[in-house]
Amino acid sequence: MTVIQRPFPFTAIVGQETMKKGLLLHLVDPRLGGVLIRGEKGTAKSTAVRALADLMPGLRVVDLPVSATEDRVVGSLDIEHAIRHGEVRFEPGLLAAAHGHILYVDEINLLEDAIVDALLDAAAMGVNTVEREGVSHSHPARFALIGTMNPEEGELRPQLLDRFAISVDVCGERDVASRMEVVRRRLAFDSDADAFRRVYERRQAELLERIRQARTLLAQIEPTEAMLEQAATIGIRLEVDGHRADITLMKTAMALAAFDGRTRVKPDDMTEAALLVMPHRMRRRPFEDDAGGVEAVRRLLGELPAEGVHAK
């Protein structure tokens, strides 16, 4: 008999606060648009994704391997059957399996661009459409897209980066006490996973309740003219292309407010949202890394007036 070990508790993950916040916002607003997590190996990227799904009853992770074919991802149509019998016979793919759940792609930077385009389109529209030889089939495909990658193995194209709502960078703990605690908790979990999980049951339940309350609050938040002006100003000053960044900034700020138990969006929400949404969308100069993008956002936010940024 095979015993399946349940995931590491989300609330037991040491550090990586920005990554955890970005993931939790997608439980508050599953339509936010996806998280891209970039960082070195061994920084709890995969652990956090699986722990996130374990936090919410009924939610599961659908893995999309980098070796997957396009038909395996989007599904396939039996054209011969359609011609002979006049009806569409559709073989569902991973996008159908991920509907209502998390679609997880490890090493997403190694995935073929055509497949990345297809899954990002489905994530944005909530619908997957397959067309072959004039025959088409559509089905719902609403899921939280989470991609992880090691930048040392190659980057995503800027056009694909822009399609992710949030991008966060992670690295190993540099504080001795925190690094010790990472090892201590992992050894305890590996020694007796059930006992370890029981220690965090209350924290897990409290976080789940916070998410559920945030979902209710989010529905009560409406954008204001001040928020719209702030988002537009930030987008223009940072010279990001298109309007997706502005829209995502608004949604992220509202999700942050709801997660904090409020129906009012504060200036700090707009600041935090901009740091999650904007850096990976900024045009890169030669030899400029993502840390440079974050600092550029910080400088801009320090220059802008914050008065009047709230929702009723």
DSSP state for residue 239 in the 8-state scheme: T
Dump pLDDT digits (tens) for 185-217. 999 999 999 999 999 999 999 999 999 999 999
Domains of the chain, earliest start first? 11-170 (3.40.50.300), 225-303 (1.10.8.80)
**Is 309 within 8 Å of 267 (Cβ atoms)?**
yes
Whether the pLDDT of residue 218 is over 60: the answer is yes
DSSP state for residue 240 in the 8-state scheme: -
DSSP state for residue 311 in the 8-state scheme: -
What pLDDT band is residue 286 in, cutting at 50, 70 and 90?
very low
CA distance 166 to 244: 12
Whether the pLDDT of residue 10 is over 90: the answer is yes
Whether the pLDDT of residue 47 is over 70: the answer is yes
Whether the pLDDT of residue 2 is over 50: the answer is no
CA atoms within 13 A on the CB side of 312: 3
CA distance 135 to 78: 9
Number of other CB atoms surrounding residue 104 within 10 Å: 24
As a whole number, the mean pLDDT across the chain is 83
Highest mean pLDDT among 95-99, 239-243, 295-299: 95-99
SS3 for 42? coil
CA distance 100 to 82: 29
Q: pLDDT exceeding 70 applies to what percent of the chain?
A: 83
- Helices and strands (DSSP H and E) totals, the chain: 14, 9
DSSP state for residue 90 in the 8-state scheme: E
Dump pLDDT digits (tens) for 55-81. 999 999 999 998 888 888 888 776 666
Dump pLDDT digits (tens) for 74-118. 887 766 665 566 666 777 889 989 998 999 998 888 888 788 788
Show which residues are catalytic: 244
**Is 244 within 8 Å of 259 (Cβ atoms)?**
no
pLDDT score, position 84: 63
